Chain A
Amino acid sequence: MDPLTDVLTALSHPSRRDIVRRLATAPARFTDVARPLDVSLNAVTKHLKLLERAGLIEREKRGREVFISLQPGPLRLVAGWMHEYERFWNARLDRFEQHFTEKKKEKKR
């Protein structure tokens, strides 16, 4: 899947948004991430995998503990997707490209 879809999927579940909010203040251990969520540890692992796939978190081993930190970079993809000019230019350029594709097809006929 494309990176934007991965980020939107990652943010589509309230528990995963809670994790992102929690990690926005500081990195945390797995148990700290799991504790406030009212779900099984297995479910937390699955949530973390989706966040990791989107590039929103990183795991770092420090001694025996694994710390999870937020990587906010991919969130900009969402901001960009929502931007007026992102949509405007994509629509315009798609139409412009289509004009030439149609012209080329006509020439071939």
Chain B
Amino acid sequence: MNASAKTLEFTFERTIPASPAEVFDAWLDPKVPGNPWNAAEKFILDPKVDGLFYWRLTTNTHYGRFTKVDRPARIEHTWVSPSTQGRESMVTVTFAKQGENTLMTLVHSDLPDTDGGRGHEKGWNYFLGIFPGQFGGDPLKKR
């Protein structure tokens, strides 16, 4: 794959009923459900600029390096996984005050536009299997 290869970008938004600082801290706290590190079987997390993270779920490993950690407004890190074919994709999370709430925006960019990325069912099925049973809800219903 070369530098001019097509990439995909996805943007997600959630309104969280807490202050930006609380949401920012929770996103980097592996004890809080929902952040990327929470479900990991093994993880290393060093959330500072040039700090690294690693997490493993079954045989699926993810690596990255933090490029911006700006409490409470912004976190940026790279994201390398089998689905990115070993290349660095980029995850940017911003936290904006919205009254009493926080508008949290996550952008996952520079993802290779390949069948490997689009076709993978395994990761999602794992989460689908866990979430409804554990929390009594179907994560798909909200969408």
Contacts and interface: CB of A to CB of B under 8 A. Distances in A.
Contacts of A90: 12, 139, 143
B65 interface: no
Main secondary structure of the interface of B (DSSP, over half): mixed
Contacts of B8: 79-80, 83
Nearest to B135: A98
A90 to B, nearest CB: 6
B36 interface: yes
B139 A83 contact: no
A101 B17 CA distance: 7
Given A100-B17, A100-B23, A95 B119 contact: no
Given A86-B10, A87-B123, A96 B35 contact: yes
Interface string A94-106: 1111111101100
Nearest to B142: A94
Interface in B6-52: 8, 10, 12, 14-18, 23, 26-27, 32-36
B143 A97 contact: no
Contacts of B139: 90-91, 94-95
B35 A80 contact: no
Contacts of A95: 33-34, 131, 135, 139
Contact of A92 (B23, B36, B118, B137): B36
- Count class of interface residues, chain A: 20 to 34
A85 B10 contact: yes
Contact of A82 (B23, B36, B111, B118): B118
Given A83-B117, A85-B111, A104 B36 contact: no
B18 A100 contact: yes
A93 interface: yes
B18 A88 contact: no
Contacts of A98: 33-34, 135, 137
Given A82-B119, A91-B131, A96-B16, 12 more contacts: A79-B8, A79-B118, A83-B10, A84-B124, A85-B83, A87-B123, A92-B34, A94-B131, A94-B139, A95-B34, A95-B131, A96-B32
Question: 9 smallest A-B Cβ distances: which pairs?
Answer: A96-B34, A95-B34, A87-B124, A84-B120, A91-B127, A94-B139, A97-B14, A104-B17, A91-B139
